[in-house]
Structure 1
């Protein structure tokens, strides 16, 4: 039995795919611990996996990229120490992009590590880094921007990382030198999205494959009130924006729903969305993989996990991107004809939202075509095969 430690930092959408991989590893006899935020402990333990807490939480406020980095920077060394403690008996560390401190722990312990990414951050000529822009900078510019972006992403933590390396007894290693060494050593990374959604560019390295999405098995966990509502009329539309919020968002959603007069399921999320009416249901957490297939359309923020669930469900997406990689996924959905062009939250109005929702039914054939491709894949199985190559 081998001891695998998976470290992921972020939101529920970041942890669910890690738990899917962890459960598959545990099913074959490995011991798996997921290191993440204490608020997500229940999700990890429900998957039957070991849990270790990171000393950081993002709270209930909107999770912008700037706030994400600021909160992490204040706890960076403590996060590294927590990873080191959880990994004291580890045989392998599997690391999300913001968990690269684990690479230093693996170096100090003399054990292998690898990446597990939900976004296409690999430098390529085909497109620029998704959190930066969706507009091509040209082949050379796209690759240069991706290399610069991954270095700049570690800049807020550089001093704390240097301090942590000293604690581990390791020599100094700058961010640029670290990434250069990872590339030279062909450090493996698995990417938890489908090549049917992001076609692999010709310059994408084989040791960093796109495996397909990491989907947990269905649990039948929809609440009774949701099931009752779903069975009580025509398929509703879903509106929810996860950990995102913006001024005027609730007013725009309410006004759009009032104009549409449609049955709808509204997820509160960080924005605290609310709506009233006999044909409306307001919910908290429900499993998207089991909720979305019964929807007429899904209005969401374009987070990687929510995008995956909507594409698997085969229903049209109306993406309202806020930040980070969300515009990228919104543009990919539009390119696949699985939804209309994204409607950025900046400048969002009820009229624009209504127009996009009204346009969504025309994209159902494209959404269903993508869904058929995704359902033919075994992303978790492919990920496990790649992990097996590291031992």
Structure 2
């Protein structure tokens, strides 16, 4: 039995897949702790996993500013040293660290503890000639430009954290090493990364080395059912449209959705989310958190922000998506939905109007065959089991 600490930073969608992975590792006989935000503690402990609090929170909601990439990085950088200390304290007895995309401070902790670490990412973060860095653009810069841009963005992304990272390395008794040295070391030691999304959605780039593995989604366990109110609504008529914008909502989203609803004339389930969406129409039901795994197979179209987890749930359900990407990796996932024929081209914020959104929803039925095809493909994959096998293969000999 190994003691494994999973480090993940972000919103709910950045934690749920790791809870699924941690649960599978626990079932395989390992002791699992998940280090994340206190506000997400319930997701961890309800799965029977150990919880470690990271000293940072990202406030979201209708009365807060949108959680943009810039704001996310600023909040995170302000607590980076304290986060590193928390990871160091949590890993005293650890045999292995599993590090989410924004949990890479644990790489330095693992070096100090002389234990292995593995990247467990939900977005394609490694440079490749095949596509540009998802956090920068969805427009190809050419083979050389795509790879160069990803390398440059990766280094620039370290700058807000460089001083605190250097301080942590000093506290841990490690020699000074800047971002360039860190990435060179990762390449030299063939630092492994497991990608928790499907190669049917993002084919593994041929220029990625073998220690970068795209192995399939880490689906949450389908323990929770739908609320009685939602279940009754779904049973009481035709399959509705779903509209939800998750934890990162653009300004004016509530007004846009409200004006769109008056045009649709269809049954709709609206998830309140960070935008505080609401509706007064008789054929519209407003809900709070509901399990997407149970809801999306029951809806005709899923209108969403193209966050990684929501996009994956819609694809798994074989439900067409209408994507309204706003920030971060959302434009990338929205583009992938269109590329694989599971939904119309994404509607970007600057060109978004109630009329265009209503038209996209009306057109989404034409993508049902493509969505069903990718859903059947995902049903054959078991990313969690593959991840467990890869992780156990890299565990130190007990």
TM range (shorter): over 0.9
Partner of 2:302: 298
C-alpha deviation, 1:347, in angstroms: 3.0
Give the CA RMSD over aligned residues.
0.9
Q: Where does the alignment leave 5 or more consecutive residues of structure 1 unmatched?
A: none
C-alpha deviation, 1:251, in angstroms: 1.3
Q: Distance in 1 between matches of 2:230 and 2:312?
A: 21
The size of the alignment, in residue pairs, is 391
1:164 lines up with 2:180 in the alignment: no
C-alpha deviation, 1:389, in angstroms: 2.0
Q: Distance in 2 between matches of 1:213 and 1:240?
A: 21
Partner of 2:44: 44
Partner of 1:132: 136
Secondary structure in structure 2 of the residue aligned to 1:132: coil
1:17 lines up with 2:17 in the alignment: yes
**Structure 1 residues 349-381: Cα deviation after superposition (integer angstroms, max 9, x where no partner):** 101101110110000000000000001000101
Q: Distance in 1 between matches of 2:371 and 2:90?
A: 41
Secondary structure in structure 2 of the residue aligned to 1:265: strand
Q: Distance in 2 between matches of 1:97 and 1:213?
A: 15
1:390 lines up with 2:394 in the alignment: yes
Q: Distance in 2 between matches of 1:389 and 1:79?
A: 28
**Structure 1 residues 178-222: Cα deviation after superposition (integer angstroms, max 9, x where no partner):** 011101111000000000001112112211111100002211421
Partner of 1:185: 189
**2:201 aligned residue (192, 197, 200):** 197
Secondary structure in structure 1 of the residue aligned to 2:157: helix
Partner of 1:381: 385
1:332 lines up with 2:336 in the alignment: yes
Partner of 1:344: 348
Q: Distance in 1 between matches of 2:369 and 2:135?
A: 29
**Structure 1 residues 1-22: Cα deviation after superposition (integer angstroms, max 9, x where no partner):** 2100000000110101000100
Matches within 5 A, 1:124-273: 124-273=128-277
**Structure 1 residues 88-133: Cα deviation after superposition (integer angstroms, max 9, x where no partner):** 1100000011111101110001000010000011111100111110
C-alpha deviation, 1:346, in angstroms: 2.4
Secondary structure in structure 1 of the residue aligned to 2:319: coil
C-alpha deviation, 1:248, in angstroms: 2.1
Q: Which moved more, 1:278-287 or 1:48-57?
A: 278-287
Secondary structure in structure 1 of the residue aligned to 2:71: helix
1:356 lines up with 2:351 in the alignment: no
Q: Which moved more, 1:212-221 or 1:118-127?
A: 212-221
Q: Where does the alignment leave 5 or more consecutive residues of structure 2 unmatched?
A: none
Q: Distance in 2 between matches of 1:248 and 1:104?
A: 41
Partner of 1:54: 54
1:113 lines up with 2:117 in the alignment: yes
**1:101 aligned residue (98, 105, 108):** 105
Q: Distance in 1 between matches of 2:290 and 2:225?
A: 8
C-alpha deviation, 1:252, in angstroms: 1.2
Matches within 5 A, 1:272-287: 272-287=276-291
TM-score, structure 1 as length reference: 0.99
Question: Which aligned segments of 4 or more residues in structure 1 are displaced greater than 6 angstroms?
Answer: none
1:30 lines up with 2:34 in the alignment: no
Secondary structure in structure 1 of the residue aligned to 2:174: coil
